Structure 1
Amino acid sequence: MTANIAARAAIVREVGAPWTIENVEISAPRADEVLIKMVGTGICHTDTACRTGFPVPMPIVLGHEGSGIVEAIGSGVTKVKVGDHVVLSFDSCGECLNCNKDQPAYCYTFYPRNLAGVRASDGSAQITQDGKPINGLFFCQSSFATYALARELNTVVMDKSLPLDILGPLGCGIQTGAGAAVNALGILPGESLAIFGGGAVGLSALLGARAVDAGAVIVVEPQAGRRALALELGATHVIDPKETPDTLAKIKELVGGVNYALDTTGIPAVMAAAVEALLPKGVLGLLGVPPPEATVPANMMSMLIRGITVRYIVEGDADPQEFIPRMAGWYKAGKFPFDKLIGKFPFDQINEAAHAAEKGGVIKPVLIF
């Protein structure tokens, strides 16, 4: 395939502007690239953040939780074939020290590969409109379009018996939460976890913890509907921080303290409570995006006495080629009902879908093509 492909894409033209669906052209795949006809794509908080101000070049086609069917492959592609059902995840170089340690989320060139809007190899665009380049390759896919171009490296082949239209969020949001619990924290059967924030990432962490038979799992979340869903998904306790004067004291009352905690809020005061909720040798994983000026509000002596670890976690410490199929296997076995987080919207209702997520009406919106 050498000709460009006509497609429809949701474009953000300036900071804060709504998505507009427009006609574009997607370039044919190069040697290591894969062309995918999109079936579904999740909307992640990162997409909304980039639309409203996180620095990415504009105009841009966002979207980074895509799923679809392979339509064409480049000459050097060997592990993906036409007709495969695939999920798209983040890009990495595959060659640096961290990539060679099976830690591609910490690739030395992660940000230029996933947020620059152009090919990392030569700065070229994969999306054009009337011959003019449109920034794309967001997380090496830009899946808010009827077709996406990815690299073989970030294209994960899936079992065709799975519901392809909802698999996309396994490539980022669900992977981030579940991977944080399972990969980064390494939670074991019977160990306890407190999750601060019951959105898509927090509830995915709950699903991951349950899939590996964790013990007590507490979800701290102000929205009643999300607390109810957390209980349905296997949380042993939920706490409403608006109605609980002292969340830390409540956690200690319920379980005495936890082995692990995850903060998905990015709020320093929440992190402070999470650190103090940890039992000796406990680990706090940070997933939320903090205010730019924020610092970690932890008492160092308190941490020293208990041997506490605090660390940020990117993409759930996951290698997508390994972890996405593992989550899919849990789903098939009935141990990972991530479909209960998902609400479906037609592609042309992308603005309505994003608004529903912002207002809490849906946990994980998925656009259907």
Structure 2
Amino acid sequence: MKQMKLFAIDLGNRQVKLKSEKATKVLPSYYVDVAEYGKRNVLELVKSDDAATTGDYKSGRDEGFTYVWGTGLDVSRKHVTDTLGLSKRYDSREFKVLADLALAELARDFKESSGGILDVVVVTGVPTNEYDDEETFKYIKEALTGVRSAEIDGVTYVVRVHEVYILMQPVGTAVDVMVDETGDVIDGNDIEDGYVGIVDIGGGTIIIDAFEKMNLDTNNRVQLEEGSHKLFINIRNRVNDNKDGHRITEHEVERMVRDGHEDSTYYWSPNGRDNLNLTDIVKQERERYTRKVIQSVRGTFKSMSRMRKIYVTGGTANLLNQNEFKIAIPIAEFVKDSETANVRGYYKYGLLNEVNIVDESDAIKN
């Protein structure tokens, strides 16, 4: 038997969440062709001491193209390569490139991946509606399994993915709630012997599921294509409807809303001179979006009195008006660090089931 490195990967529509024994990372699900930036750094007079928040990435299966990717990605006046898609997403070139970048981003923390090949097992997830779709499983496994490589700032990282485990997306949060950091089940958790709801609000979808003693309740569930992209589009449209001539993109809206300010104000500069206060628009659209989610949850869970708790999770949960949500649905509990709850659960699932312990006779050799 051989113990391999365990990678948990959540390739969401708006955010990529990654976890290994070394780190937990959150990055955008889009990247920018380096050509969009023109000739870079020609005016850089002094080398910055600030830590880099982006890098140059080259996928092993997209030769000739370099992409800029990272938490500090500059999307102003740039054509963004997006992986958002609600159909055939997993078979697209953009998704496969994102998979390579994600694997390399995790692998860069392990020295053996740059001097050889790092052997890994991956746990990931898909929305509930796609869980029984054989084609979806096929495309995801094709995107991740085997020898994969990507270059980051001139250094090539290589991994050999021996197995890919695919879970229902909300199961990630369920496992995160019921399993501790070492992979042991927590005594007296709500998930194992209770009837609970999980509201997973992501970039592309809102998934509302119920589990009774870990069994999916197929009669009280829904999946809506109403993720945060709808919130960002509504804000974008309202800003662009103004007569001042300024045009904001959906990705600029996302950066502004997610970054925010400590005093809950929202500003956007279209040109580096003007600083537009968009606080009223953002707050009103967040409030409107919160009410829509509340209505969807109420419409799905018509017998909340029988439920022990409703966990609210996903990368968009922290954009809701949480006070209003809890007043409307008192049994709601917002999962801590909700944007990484699923990927933490995927990782804990791997630990709990020892999926990274592989029989060497079954291991991929090349």
Normalised by the size of structure 1, how large is the TM-score? 0.30
Normalised by the size of structure 2, how large is the TM-score? 0.30
Higher relative contact order (CA 8 A, sep 6+): 2
